[in-house]
Every structure is written in structure tokens, then in C-alpha cells.
Amino acid sequence: MRSLWQYHQEMYSFNINVTSDHPYKTNPWSWLIQGRPTSFFYESPKKGHEGCVVDLCSKAITSIGTPTLWWGATIAIFVLLFTWALRRDWRAGAILAGFAGGYLPWFNYQHRTIFSFYEVAFVPFVALAVTYVLGLGIGGPKASLRRRKIGLLVAGIFVIATVACFAFFYPIYTAQVIPQSQWQLRMWFPSWI
């Protein structure tokens, strides 16, 4: 007679391991630019179902980070490296240390099946990197009034663009029912689908 464990192994014998293929696996090299976000959930309600008012809708939850923030952070990392290395600004070094501590260990596991949502470990440092660079652009108390005005204008435009970008992607962060054409409008790259 077979044991319950043997029965379970026969019924559910999947050959899944840490290197199994998965359609949403990604490499840490692409995380900062949001190269391959993970799709957590997707449904295609048809007209008359779940509030769909067109022929075909989409309802999704996707791990795309707000592109302006992530792409800004990708640039900000180079500014932080420069500022820390040449000016020895401890604030830049602290942000880089936190960023590196959350991000760099994943490069040891590139051979495994890993996903972009693991970047959640260093999201605070992504925001801090961008904030630090925007602060550099504004300048300190001794900066000229002209520089501060231009810096504030650039920082304000960036913040407004980031909030608008987040609002644009909000439906696919929260499984809102939207026309499929609107979902496709949010899939900027083929790797996002």
C-alpha cells in the first residue's frame, strides 16, 4: 500500500526547481529600466461583464514600477557615484550602500529563476537617489537665486511627471477594468506583455 506521501508525489510530481523556466523570469540587469515586469494577474472581461463597456477589456496587476522614477534613478546612480567618489559626500555614499545592499546580491543568482518584483527590497533607495539628485539640482542655501528657481522648476516638473505617470499606470497596479486598447497603451515595450 502506498503512503500518503508517495501518492502526493505521484499526483503532484512537477519538476520545478530554482532554475525552472518561467515566462516572467528576468535578470537583475534589466530591473532598473523595468525591462521585464511580472504579471501577477490578468483577465479579459467581455462587454457586459465586470463593468466592461466595450467589446474586450483588460483587468491586470503588473509590477511595472513608475518609469519616470526608475529611469530617473538609473541616471541618479551615476550622479551618486560621482558625488560620493569625488566629493566624498556621505549622503551619496549612504544611499549607494543601501541601494547596493538590496540590489547587488541578486547578481549572484542570475542562473536562477528570479523576478523583477524582488526589487522591492531597494525601492526606498531608488526614491532617495532621485531625491538626492533633485536636491543637488536645486542647490544649497548659498546657490544663486537663478539656479534655485531653475532647479525648483526642473524638480517640480519631474515630480508632476512622476505623479502623472503613476496615475496613468494606476489601473494596471490595481486590477481596474479598462478597455484592452487602454491596457495596450500602457504596455510601452514588447517585453512588458
Number of domains the chain is built from: 1
- Residue 4 maps to a domain: no
- For residue 22, pLDDT over 90 is answered with no
What is the rounded CA–CA span in Å between residue 169 and residue 70?
14
- Residue 9 maps to a domain: no
Range of the domain at 75: 25-192
> If you average pLDDT over residues 61-84, what whole number do you get?
96
13 or 80, greater pLDDT: 80
- For residue 11, pLDDT over 90 is answered with no
What is the rounded CA–CA span in Å between residue 43 and residue 36?
19
Model pLDDT, residue 18: 77
**What are 133-162's pLDDT values in tens digits?**
999 999 988 889 999 999 999 999 999 999
* Secondary structure letter of residue 13 according to DSSP: -
48 or 135, greater pLDDT: 135
- Residue 5 maps to a domain: no
> Vertex 63, ends 57 and 68: CA angle to 5°?
100
Q: Residue 24 — φ and ψ, nearest 5°?
A: -110, 15
- Residue 1 maps to a domain: no
Model pLDDT, residue 15: 62
- Residue 16 maps to a domain: no
> If you average pLDDT over residues 100-105, what whole number do you get?
95
- For residue 107, pLDDT over 70 is answered with yes
- Residue 10 maps to a domain: no
92 or 12, greater pLDDT: 92
> If you average pLDDT over residues 93-112, what whole number do you get?
94
> If you average pLDDT over residues 57-75, what whole number do you get?
95
Mean pLDDT, all residues of the chain:
90
pLDDT-based confidence at 79, cuts 50/70/90? Answer: very high
- Residue 20 maps to a domain: no
Model pLDDT, residue 164: 98
CA distances (Å), 44 to each of 48, 50, 54, 164, in order?
12, 10, 11, 26
Q: Which residue in this structure is represented by grid cell 526589487?
A: 119
> If you average pLDDT over residues 42-47, what whole number do you get?
93
- For residue 2, pLDDT over 90 is answered with no
CA distances (Å), 109 to each of 21, 27, 97, 153, 165, in order?
14, 9, 20, 41, 31
Model pLDDT, residue 5: 52
What is the rounded CA–CA span in Å between residue 24 and residue 44?
19
- For residue 173, pLDDT over 90 is answered with yes
- Residue 185 maps to a domain: yes
Report the C-alpha dihedral over residues 23, 25, 110, 119, rounded to 10 degrees: 170
The CB density around residue 131, as the number of other CB atoms within 10 Å, is 16
